[in-house]
Amino acid sequence: MPYALNTMDIQVKMVLKQRKQELKFRKKNLKYRIQNILKQLNLQEEININQYLEKQQLQLQELQVNQAKIIGDRIMVQRVAELKEIQQKVQFVGERIKKLNNIIELQISLNEKQDQIFQFYKQMLE
């Protein structure tokens, strides 16, 4: 019987050794699979992060375009106000020029009348 126990012990040890090797293999296989899954998750996470960054970049560009439009609109409003002011000044100066032209015409007419009167008196005195 001791021989049988010895043989059984050897068989049990062999089975245990075999199971231990199987467990090591499974453990390595599981580690490898876990690493692959983690790599895939990291890649997906990286892709998601890159997509998120791209979206944020696009939103930033849109905001910059909108800001430029707003600044452009403000500048246009300022320019319109400045142009209106300039137009008012031009209109005012134009009206003054018309008044001055009228005064000049009146002065010329007055000078002509004075010349006529002067000529008349000159003829009378001669």
Give the chain's mean pLDDT. Answer: 86
Chain segment 21-36, per-residue pLDDT in tens: 988 888 888 888 888 8
Tell me the pLDDT band of 3, cut-offs 50, 70 and 90.
Answer: low
Tell me the pLDDT band of 95, cut-offs 50, 70 and 90.
Answer: very high
**Where are the chain's structural domains?**
1-92
Give the pLDDT score at 70: 86
Angstrom distance (rounded) from CA 109 to CA 11: 143
Whole-Å CA distances, 70 to 77, 90, 107: 10, 30, 55
Cβ atoms within 10 A of the Cβ of 117, count?
10
3-state secondary structure 1-64: CHHHHHHHHHHHHHHHHHHHHHHHHHHHHHHHHHHHHHHHHHHHHHHHHHHHHHHHHHHHHHHH
Q: Radius of gyration of the chain from Cα atoms?
A: 53
Give the pLDDT score at 4: 54
pTM attached to this predicted model: 0.44
Give the pLDDT score at 75: 85
Chain segment 71-90, per-residue pLDDT in tens: 888 888 888 889 999 999 99
Instruction: Tell how far CA 115 is from the center of its chain.
Output: 75
